Amino acid sequence: MSSLQRALGAFYGLALGDALGMPTQSLSREQIRQRFGVIHTLEDAGPDQPIAANMPAGSITDDTEQAILVGQLLVRGEGRIAPAALAQSLIEWEAAMRAKGSLDLLGPSTKHAIELILAGHSVDDAGRYGTTNGAAMRITPVGIAADVTQADGFIQAVVEACQVTHNTSLGIASAAAVAAVVSAGINGAALSEALSLGGQIARQAQARGHWVAGANIATRLEWACSLSAGDDKAQFMQMLYELIGTSVASQESVVASFALAGQVALGHLEAFEALCMAASLGGDTDTIAAILGAMLGACLGLPAWPAELIAQVQQVNALDLQPLVQQLLALRQVA
């Protein structure tokens, strides 16, 4: 399978996971059960969806939109992201979302960092409190553009994408883990190998940024990938929800994504089945499913996703990711 098919699988897997989780985001597991049962396909958001009310089935959210933003900045910067450019782009993105009347705005860490920058604080200071999953959700373009086999340069590219909003040990480690899986998948690594490398890169990357207290990302990722769903998938989902957690905290949502990817690697789940489970968990479902889709798609390729659902996401959002993906892969070749 070509690197293009794997890179398209990653970016469209992110978009598909995002869209599957769109109608369930910020709902409890019980609320999702009552409204949808278990997600099996793209669904409309109801009028009482707290963030995406009445959005049509297949709609993407901030996860995909901000990943595209990062990808465009990488292309514009020829593989580098200027922190000030990222900050300005995020400010403009939220202003556009507000103008549309959307409630799908910047997450807590990103919002706080941008407020500090606007108040005159340095970029280094602005991101020193960012521990949520905002950097991890938009890091996929870095995994496409940068080769994880060049570990030092790869981690530096991740840091540049995180610095403005998530310049912490937790924020950087979680984003590095996701980007590493994507990058390894594009190199042709098997899913199990890529997940293992994600943990290793997270362990190296956690030395970067400001230290903050919290469960060790690398250790939690390794533990999560060792779990087994067995035959009781509902019980496994409940364990993720109650024991790992599904909040915006990196050490919950990113770890939950790795736990589900681990079940695919073990053969307990099919890729799309895992994506639907992520969208059904409760909590930050769109981000959990988006991260999972990016990692699985990079390792399994675009054919892992139902073609009719990818076409629906493309049509609903007027989304054509191939030109951007090709530009990102060209950066990888230059590096």
Place of tokens 């950097």: 135
pLDDT of residue 52: 87
Token pair belonging to 314: 């493309």
pLDDT of residue 333: 80
Q: E strand or H helix at 6, and its extent?
A: helix 3-21
pLDDT of residue 150: 95
The CA distance from 64 to 67, in Å, is 5
The CA distance from 151 to 102, in Å, is 39
Domain boundaries, the chain: 3-334
Q: Tell me the CATH class for 3-334.
A: mainly alpha
Beta strands in the chain (DSSP E): none
Q: Give, for all 335 residues of the chain, the pLDDT tens digit.
A: 999 999 999 999 999 999 999 999 999 999 999 999 999 999 999 899 998 889 999 999 999 999 999 999 999 999 988 887 888 888 887 777 676 665 555 667 777 877 887 788 777 777 888 889 999 999 999 999 999 999 999 999 999 999 888 999 999 999 999 999 999 999 999 999 999 999 999 999 999 999 999 999 999 999 999 998 777 899 999 999 999 999 999 999 999 999 999 999 999 999 999 999 999 999 999 999 999 999 999 999 999 999 999 999 999 999 999 999 999 999 998 75
Which pTM was predicted? 0.95
The CA distance from 239 to 233, in Å, is 10
pLDDT of residue 99: 66
Q: Is 306 exposed, middle or buried (0-12, 13-18, 19+ CB in 10 A)?
A: middle
Task: Say how many C-beta atoms besides its own lie within 10 A of residue 231's C-beta.
Answer: 8
Which SS3 state, helix, strand or coil, does residue 163 take? coil
pLDDT of residue 324: 98
Of 294, 300, 296, the closest CA to residue 328 belongs to 294
- Alpha helical stretches, state H, 119-226: 123-126, 134-137, 140-145, 151-162, 169-186, 191-205, 217-225
Of 172, 198, 171, the closest CA to residue 184 belongs to 198
